[in-house]
Amino acid sequence: MAEAPKATREAIEAVDLAENPFKKDFPLLANNPHLTFLDSAATAQRPTVVLDAQRDFYERLNSNPLRGLYKLSVEATEAIDKVRRKVADFIGAPLSQGIVFTRNATESLNLLALSMGRLVLGPGDEVCITIMEHHSNILPWQQVCRETGAKLVYMRPNEDCKLTAEEIETKITRRTKIVSVTQVSNVLGVENPIKDIAKRAHAVGALCFVDGAQSVPHMGVNVQELGCDALAFSAHKMFGPMGIGVLWAKKELLEKMPPFLTGGEMIDWVTEDDFGCAPVPQKFEAGTQDAAGIVGLGAAVDYMRAVKRENLEARERALVADLARKLGELPFIRLIGPANPNDHVAVVSFNVCGIHPHDVASILDSYDVAIRAGHHCAQPLLAWMGIESCCRASVAVYNDEQDIDNLVEGLQKVWGMFNGAE
Amino acid sequence: MELNNIYNTALMEHNAHPDYKYEMDDPTLQHEGVNPSCGDDIVLSLKLDGDVIEEAAFTGHGCAVSQASADIMADLITDETAEHARHLCDLFLKMIRGEVTDDAELAELGEAAQLKGISLMPARVKCAELGWRTAMTMLDERLAAEGK
């Protein structure tokens, strides 16, 4: 098994953030030199190669995959299968049949909860998630727990945003049937100890699902190394198109799970009263897929591989550490998340003392600095931390030192506007 | 849209030193307004003397736009009849949603007309509306009970 590539400390230290060899690959950024885009955790920008791949599909291969018996349709089907193998390889999955294409990570997580959840949960059983989940890894479980009489249990991090071994052991018990956790929090930026969580889940006979929406774009993720049973992520956060998501799950699980959506493409046979499912993964891909989007995802994976995952991770880790450090030096900023700047994956959340995040983001926008402000689809986490909302800056490989300095300068202006500097 | 039009002196002043942000003793009417998507909330209190709004005050928290806008609203509707106050709230909401743009028509909003530019910032419309929407709900209920 090939291990996931990791950025070394030396590689991170060697990154020159003043240089930016990547911006030119992303037309939106290249065409808007004044834009400081620090909201990649919401959606990343796309490189030309991804946009070209989508266009190329429609110009050269457009036809309905799986259905047609003519050459064009066969080629379209092959194009999808090629991406399926590519994506499997990208996350270290042993079999490409374990890759299901969905619309986004949200749909992948809904599929897991509503198909697997309904299959295995009953009264008295527990689903264990963390308080730092995105709503898309909370609401489907709330829904399925309500239906089945199972209980939703939350693991909560310590003061430094870490899930301790004790918390994992206390919350994942013999009653736990499913554990579903985010690998990287979209608010705290902290990486959770998935290997330990998966080990504990399996020790008590539970399944372990991982929300990789904020991890797969930024670090080498290998499902076999993690030891999880399923992984969900979105293409649009990793330079791919919007509207394409991935669910990887162990093939034997997918085979056991009932279909999530039914209709075209997912059947083996249909009578007036019944139907048989196609083999996995087609069983979970009802209706015509966004084939051009899938091909675009393939191009995004190629792009990340061309840059090299470890280089990408090194640059992003250097960027986020610089961001956390510089924000931490501003006396009027309160950082949210782990204390060590090196413990953040691509995301730094913060508040400006006495100034509402919406005002901060609006004023920054007038200086062409784009950040996110609000609850970040993590209301239970914010409520638990006792804050209404916060600001979030997030980086990707195409950011540079200037972007971070623009944010810092913008924040100084925001502070000045509210504190007497006319 | 020049941001200075939004975060102008009036708005910053009302946000920093709101005249009407306090707990009112014995209000005639009280209502909570919430923007669930941003977590902003205000509790608006009105004291009526017959038909006339004698005192308006609010508490709560939110962004500068929502807080200043509520303060400006409280100032505008104080000493007005409930019916005229409802008309002013309605006019403000129409301005903020871009339905009324004529400055002459908006003149009776006084200082509140300076928030017109927010109609061009869809993300902030809800913030500016909060206080006015809350007042509108209260006045609607009150006037409906009186058969007006």
Kindly report, residue by residue over B9-66, the tens digit of the pLDDT: 889 999 999 999 999 999 999 999 998 777 788 999 999 999 999 999 999 989 999 9
Is residue A161 less than 8 Å (CB to CB) from chain B?
no
Q: Could you report the per-residue pLDDT of A86-135, keeping only the tens digit for each?
A: 999 999 999 999 999 999 999 999 999 999 999 999 999 999 999 999 99
Q: Dig out the tokens for A347 from the structure.
A: 């995301």
What Rg, from alpha-carbon coordinates, does chain B have? Answer: 14
Q: Which residues of A255-291 are buried (b: 16+ CB within 10 A; e: fewer)?
A: eebebbbeeebbbeeeeeeeeebbebbbbbbbeebbb
Residues of A (314-333) whose Cβ lies below 8 Å from B: none
Identify whether A281 is preceded by a cis peptide bond (ω within 30 of 0): yes
In angstroms, rounded to a whole number, what is the distance separating the alpha carbons of residues A347 and A393?
Answer: 6
Two tokens, residue A58: 């429609």
Range of the domain at B122: 3-145
Closest CA to A255 of A276, A283, A287, A233: A283
The per-residue DSSP string of A104-143 comes to SHHHHHHHIIIIIIHHH--TT-EEEEETT--GGGTHHHHH
Residue A246 clears pLDDT 90, i.e. is over it: yes
Residue B120 has pLDDT above 70, yes or no: yes
The residue of A356, A381, A384, A413 whose CB has the most chain B CBs within 10 angstroms, and thus the best one to mutate to test that interface, is A356
Query: Dihedral angle at the C-alpha atoms of A15, A19, A24, A27, nearest 10 degrees?
Result: 80
Among A232-236, A276-280, A360-364, B143-147, the least confident range: B143-147
Q: Specify the number of domains making up chain B.
A: 1
Strand partners, A154: A129
Find the angle CA(A210)-CA(A49)-CA(A217) to the nearest 5 degrees: 20
A208 is catalytic: no
How far from each other are the two terminal CA atoms of chain A, in whole angstroms? 61
Of all residues in chain A, the percent with pLDDT exceeding 90 is 91
Decide if A375 touches B, using CB distance below 8 A.
Answer: yes
Q: In this model, does residue A393 exceed pLDDT 60?
A: yes
CA-based nearest residue in chain B for residue A422: B9
d(CA A246, CA A322): 31
- The SS3 assignment for A366 reads helix
User: Cβ atoms within 10 A of the Cβ of B79, count?
Assistant: 14
Q: Does the beta-carbon distance from B16 to A359 stay under 8 Å?
A: no
Reported pTM = 0.93
- Summarised one tens digit per residue, pLDDT across range A292-311 is 999 999 999 999 999 999 99
Calculate the CA A353 to chain-centre distance.
29
Contact B64 A365 (CB under 8 A): no
CB atoms closer than 10 angstroms to residue A9: 10
Measure the CA–CA gap between B60 and B55, rounded to whole angstroms: 17
A-chain CB neighbours of B63 within 8 Å are 356-359
pLDDT above 70 (res A181): yes
Q: Are A156 and A130 in contact (CB under 8 A)?
A: yes
Structural domains for chain A: 9-45+308-418 (3.90.1150.10), 50-305 (3.40.640.10)
> Which of A359, A389, A418 shows the shortest C-beta gap to B39?
A389
Q: What DSSP string runs through A293-333?
A: HHHHHHHHHHHHHHH-HHHHHHHHHHHHHHHHHHHHTSTTE
pLDDT, average across residues A390-408: 98
Interchain CB contact of A401 with B (< 8 Å): no
Residue with tokens 């206080």: B131
Asked if B121 reaches chain A (Cβ–Cβ under 8 Å), the answer is: yes
B12 chain-A contacts, CB cut-off 8 A = 417-418
Tell me, yes or no, if B16 comes closer than 8 A to chain A by beta carbon.
yes
Would you tell me the crossing angle of helices A401-418 and A357-366 to the nearest 10 degrees?
120
Q: Is the separation of the CB atoms in B20 and B56 below 8 Å? A: yes
Coil, helix or strand for A208?
strand
Q: Is the pLDDT of residue A242 over 90?
A: yes
Q: Do A27 and A52 touch, CB atoms closer than 8 A?
A: no
With an 8 Å Cβ cutoff, is B62 touching chain A?
yes
Instruction: Please report which helix (H) or strand (E) contains residue A79, including its range.
Output: helix A71-90
Q: Out of A365, A366, A388, name the one closest to residue B39 (CB).
A: A388
Q: How many CA atoms lie within 13 A of A256 on its CB side?
A: 11
Calculate how close chain B gets to A152, using CA atoms only, in Å: 24
Mean pLDDT for B88-106 is 95
Chain B nearest-CA distance from A414, in A, is: 11
Quote the radius of gyration of chain A (alpha carbons, Å): 22
Q: What is the pLDDT of residue B1?
A: 43
**pLDDT (0 to 100) of residue A209:** 98
Q: Pairing between strand A176-182 and A126-130?
A: parallel
Angstrom distance (rounded) from CA B116 to CA B97: 9
What pLDDT shows up at residue A72?
A: 87
Distance from CA of A366 to the nearest CA of B (A): 6
Can you tell me the ipTM of this complex? 0.88
Q: Is B63 on the interface with A (CB under 8 A)?
A: yes
* Alpha carbon distance A215, B70 (integer Å): 42
Q: In sequence order, what DSSP letters do the residues of A141-192 get, joined into one string?
A: HHHHHHHHT-EEEEE---TTSPPPHHHHHHHS-TTEEEEEEESB-TTT-PBP
- Give the residue from A215, A234, A254, A223 showing the smallest Cα distance to A294: A234
3-state secondary structure of A216: coil
For residue A91, the cross-strand partners are none
Mean of pLDDT values over A237-250: 98
Query: Which residue among A382, A388, A417 places its CB closest to the CB of B7?
Result: A417
Put simply, whether B123 touches A (Cβ < 8 Å) is yes
Residue pair A91/A221 in contact (Cβ under 8 Å)? The answer is yes
**CB within 8 Å of A132: residues ≥ 6 apart:** A157, A161, A182, A185, A187, A188, A190, A192, A378, A381
> What residues of chain B lie within 8 A of the CB of A366, using their CB?
2-3
DSSP secondary structure string, chain B?
--GGGTS-HHHHHHHHS-SSBSPPSS-SEEEEEEETTTTEEEEEEEEEETTEEEEEEEEEE--HHHHHHHHHHHHHHTTSBHHHHHHHHHHHHHHHTTS---HHHHGGGGGGGGGGGGGG-HHHHHHHHHHHHHHHHHHHHHHHHTT-
Q: Given phi > 0 = left and psi -120 to 50 = alpha, else beta, which region is A272?
A: alpha
Each residue of A270-291: pLDDT tens digit?
Answer: 999 999 999 999 999 999 999 9
Give how far B111 is from chain A: nearest CA, Å. 20
CA–CA dist A186, A133 (Å, integer): 8
In this structure, how many other beta carbons lie within 10 angstroms of the beta carbon of residue B82? Answer: 23
For residue B141, the domain's CATH number is 3.90.1010.10
